[in-house]
């Protein structure tokens, strides 16, 4: 009985946790879009400035990074970091857009931006996704939660050879002889 209650609790906990994966990935995706929009503005402005003085973005970055003045070097390193992060976030957003909504948590697990993930986690508000994606993730996670608790106990039981006693036989064996009855010719008799 206790194992069934624990199994149910594990399945319920898994279902609740699993149902949050689509919601968390949705909130991450929204933050990703906002971060990408801000970086796009910075990168485009830098590209316009470089083009205005007859340089490519890469040439402008190299000139800044190799400048004599420390401020320009730091600015070049910082700008290269912005350009690199912009490219990474663009690729991740594209991966999110190409996937079915049900598989978006997988895209998050394959690669994420730590800054965006941390910000999402800090502001995350659990929600109950009332769509197929939330239901499927909840069901799969509930099943995995049940298996995570149930299967090790069954495996250990098999490994160490413990079997549950057959309760119907043990009841008959433990009954006093004067209480066991036999039906013969339609009449109940005590043995």
Is position 19 within any domain?
Answer: yes
Residue 171 belongs to a domain: no
Does residue 138 belong to any structural domain of this protein? yes
pLDDT in tens, the chain (191 residues): 676 777 777 777 777 777 778 888 889 999 999 999 999 999 999 999 999 999 999 999 999 999 999 999 999 999 999 999 999 999 999 988 888 878 888 888 778 889 999 999 999 888 766 667 667 766 777 777 777 766 766 666 666 665 555 555 555 555 554 555 555 555 655 55
Instruction: Tell me which H or E stretch contains 41.
Output: helix 2-52
Residue 24 lies inside a defined structural domain of this protein: yes
Distances (CA, A) of 124 to 7, 73, 95, 119: 28, 37, 22, 8
Residue 154, in any domain of the structure: yes
pTM, two decimals, is 0.62
Is residue 13 situated within a structural domain?
Answer: yes
**137: how many CB neighbours lie within 10 A of its CB?**
22
Question: 153-188 b/e with 16+ CB inside 10 Å = b?
Answer: eeeeeeeeeeeeeeeeeeeeeeeeeeeeeeeeeeee
Q: Does residue 173 form part of some domain?
A: no
Per the structure block, which two tokens stand in for 177? 């002889």
Query: What pLDDT was estimated at residue 155?
Result: 65
The pLDDT value recorded for residue 118 is 93
Give the total number of structural domains in the chain. Answer: 1
Asked if residue 184 is part of any domain, the answer here is no
pLDDT at 89: 93
Domain that holds residue 96: 2-166
**pLDDT on residue 30:** 92
């Amino acid at each position: 009985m206790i194992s069934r209650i624990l199994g149910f609790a594990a399945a319920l906990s898994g279902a609740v946790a699993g149902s949050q994966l689509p919601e968390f990935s949705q909130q991450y995706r929204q933050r990703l879009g906002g971060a990408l929009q801000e970086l796009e503005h910075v990168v485009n402005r830098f590209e316009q400035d470089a083009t205005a003085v007859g340089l490519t973005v890469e040439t402008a970055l190299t000139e800044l990074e190799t400048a004599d003045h420390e401020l320009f070097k730091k600015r070049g390193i910082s700008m290269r970091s912005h350009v690199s992060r912009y490219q990474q976030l663009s690729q991740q957003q594209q991966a999110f857009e190409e996937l079915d909504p049900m598989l978006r948590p997988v895209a998050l697990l394959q690669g994420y931006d730590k800054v965006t993930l941390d910000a999402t986690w800090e502001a995350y508000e659990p929600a109950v996704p009332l769509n197929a994606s939330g239901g499927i993730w909840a069901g799969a996670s509930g099943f995995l939660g049940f298996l995570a608790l149930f299967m090790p106990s069954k495996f250990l039981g098999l490994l160490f050879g413990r079997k549950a006693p057959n309760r119907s036989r043990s009841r008959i064996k433990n009954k006093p002889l004067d209480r066991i009855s036999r039906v013969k010719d339609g009449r109940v008799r005590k043995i």
